[in-house]
Copies of this chain bind each other. A is one copy, B any other.
């Protein structure tokens, strides 16, 4: 089947140039694999290993199992919850050389990729055939990392998160066994849904070596818009109304502080007020109608200006600005690290949740930003912090806890798309109750009895 991948994504890891070493222990590479840009404490792996095939991953995992060595999968290191930090050392398994598009069936709307393919690499390859892969976390993450955290992003309101778009996996288990899950068919009721269990398992149940993804046709018409509001409440209410009324493509809320940071970072001149970034897509006819409905709903909430961008370059610039919000905040606060909440609430609870988040931040004396995927009820309160400043860290933890408690009390979740990682596992029992957590631990114990797969992350948070 590899014949169909000709010219799609290339095979950089398999070139005939002098072969790069597969095991690296130089200090700079260890450091690069031992930290992310969040507040989580760095920790070096003992070695970085670069597998080039499923068989190699299986061999490495068997070696690790034989010697009781932890293994932490690594994509591009864009996790926001410390997933890739090898807190117990061991092997950082860098998947960047497994970056081939293995099988592409455009007319079936499916593609099978290796886990090191990034979302932009995939989209560049499939775009000429009128298809795209919608899941778009801010960073240009690998599809393996995105599947591991059940990532989503700005398109989830319309196309779902990774869970809705991963059709099947090849997974290397903790003892080196290779398991195939799912398939190429649109749906299946055959056996337990192993694919669904592995997606979002944060590297703690198995290592993904191949991922089958659902693709979507690029809509005929796409129009982006910016709607500026007098206050964040009004923007939140408008978002809820719009989501209920039209099949919106994207709907993102950005607060003034973040707009200001983006303006500096990207050289844009957006008004520094609460803003909804919107995208309408579909047929030319339906998009025109959807825009008119959204315009009325925005005006009902006192919208001060509504700017359209149908030109593809201007649209790309607008979404690039939105996607760079986290980097912009980091750039405004050099030397500091990022901490971000990630709660998701039922959408009608969103305006109240945004107000509560702002009040809580103010009460604790923080100037955090608020931005998020409000069409899903998912938003982020973002802060930069010096991890060595213990008092700041404690205050941040308190803000995070209050925001999470508010969401959980309203049927929400502690993490909409970032995953538990190192930071959110402590909320798991609050969210689901102790019996569910016991069951999750039983699954971990069944699949990884020695605890070598990404120890201390996610459900395994007690194992520090």
Which of B110, B282, B415 is the one whose CB lies under 8 Å from A346? B110
The 23 sampled A-B contact pairs (Cβ below 8 Å) are A107-B244, A107-B347, A150-B187, A150-B193, A156-B187, A177-B438, A177-B439, A179-B432, A181-B436, A185-B376, A186-B376, A187-B344, A189-B418, A190-B419, A191-B431, A191-B437, A192-B443, A194-B440, A196-B196, A196-B197, A282-B286, A285-B285, A285-B289
Nearest opposing residue in chain B for A347, CB measure = B108
Per-residue B-contact encoding for A417-457, CB less than 8 Å = 1, 0 else: 11110001001100111011111101110110000000000
Contact B286 A196, beta carbon cutoff 8 Å: no
Per-residue B-contact encoding for A258-293, CB less than 8 Å = 1, 0 else: 000000000000000000000000110110010000
A255 to chain B, nearest CB (A): 21
Per-residue B-contact encoding for A189-225, CB less than 8 Å = 1, 0 else: 1111110110111000100000000000100000000
Query: Please, which residues of chain B bring their CB within 8 A of the CB of A107?
Result: 240, 244, 347-348
Per-residue B-contact encoding for A150-167, CB less than 8 Å = 1, 0 else: 111000110011011000
A148 to chain B, nearest CB (A): 10
Contact A200 B194, beta carbon cutoff 8 Å: no
With A200-B193, A411-B183, A443-B446 given, is the CB distance from A188 to B416 under 8 Å? yes
Query: Please, which residues of chain B bring their CB within 8 A of the CB of A393?
Result: none
A440 to chain B, nearest CB (A): 5
Query: Please, which residues of chain B bring their CB within 8 A of the CB of A378?
Result: 185-187
Whether, in the assembled complex, A308 has its beta carbon less than 8 Å from a beta carbon of chain B, the answer is no
Nearest opposing residue in chain B for A205, CB measure = B192
Query: Please, which residues of chain B bring their CB within 8 A of the CB of A415?
Result: 188-190
Q: Chain copies in the assembly?
A: 2
Distance between Cα atoms of A205 and B193 in the complex (Å): 12
Distance between Cα atoms of A16 and B181 in the complex (Å): 50
Whether, in the assembled complex, A340 has its beta carbon less than 8 Å from a beta carbon of chain B, the answer is no
Contact B244 A191, beta carbon cutoff 8 Å: no
Contact A439 B173, beta carbon cutoff 8 Å: yes
Whether, in the assembled complex, A413 has its beta carbon less than 8 Å from a beta carbon of chain B, the answer is yes
With A192-B443, A196-B193 given, is the CB distance from A187 to B435 under 8 Å? no
Query: Please, which residues of chain B bring their CB within 8 A of the CB of A438?
Result: 177
